[in-house]
Amino acid sequence: MMVAESISGRSYVAQDFAQRLKNAEDPRAAQAVRLVVDAICDIIAKLQPTRMELQQIIAFLTDVGEACHDTRHEWVLLFDVLGVTSQVEAQLAPKAEGLTPPTLTGPFYRPDVAFRKDGESISLDGRGVPLEVVAHVQNLDGCPIEGAVIEVWQANGDGIYENQDPDAQPEFNLRGRYRVPGSGRVSIRTVRPAGYRVPDDGPVGALMKLLDLGLDRPAHIHFRISAPGHRTLTTHIFDRTDPCIADDPLLAVRPELLAEFTETGDGGLRTEFRFVLASNRSQDIQS
């Protein structure tokens, strides 16, 4: 006769479910599902939800699914605000000390962006406070990585990306690709980005409000840097003076990614940032 809990304290439901998975064709999928069921049973044992609360959880997950469509990815947003995406990126990242931390890509990346010349602006409409980003790309030995490709994209001074705002911004505004010369240094001219609010009109936004969690992302610029023989790095740099810097709802802020935007005296700003990529050598990849 089965009892609610085994002697070890593990739910009999979790034990029974794990037993049924022994002949699964895909061992990796079976392991993942078993761990999910183990975790859910553990949460139920600790939280002891009522039947009504269980129905509320099911209703929330249903609402998340129904909120997804061609231009809205509510499941992605949920995984982002719960920190799941950032945790996966952190676990997949090379672990050698001194490497630039990776971050999540986010929903606004576009791969089909034209190359710009060193020092050329990605601001196609010229609106906003001018900002020069001087990017240095190097390996762990401090050597420049000639031929690396920097992809950059950001929101404008109103916190809006070009592909959110096709009627008001030129296509590919505030996006560009740069090839790194032998010096390892590239000048990217742009405008100061503003932070923005993650979507709050759906079930994920309602959950964040219920938990009294912030919805405002601090101002940032996205980078993806690739080079032969090196691990591709996708990351942000953040404006360290942004008031939301400690409360990023996507949990992407790391101390190593904070940038100082300094005044240049002509009404513009400048920041300099060093990106350190891992090579494919084992000592760069392992912890």
Q: What is the dihedral of CA 224, 228, 229, 235, to 10 degrees?
A: 0
pLDDT at position 6 over 70: no
Return d(Cα 278, Cα 214) in angstroms, integer: 33
Residue with the larger pLDDT of the pair 63 and 11 = 63
Give 94-114 pLDDT, tens digit per residue: 888 999 999 999 989 999 999
pLDDT at 70: 84
Question: What mean pLDDT, rounded, does the chain reach?
Answer: 93
Give 33-53 pLDDT, tens digit per residue: 999 999 999 999 999 999 999
Average pLDDT of the segment spanning 272-287: 78
Q: Which of 71-80, 213-222, 234-243, 251-260 has the lowest mean pLDDT?
A: 71-80
pLDDT at 283: 56
Q: What are phi and psi of 283, to 5 degrees?
A: -70, -20
* CA angle centred on 194, ends 89 and 237, rounded to 5°: 35
Does domain 79-285 sit in CATH 3.30.930.10? Answer: no
Sequence spans of domains, the chain: 1-48, 79-285
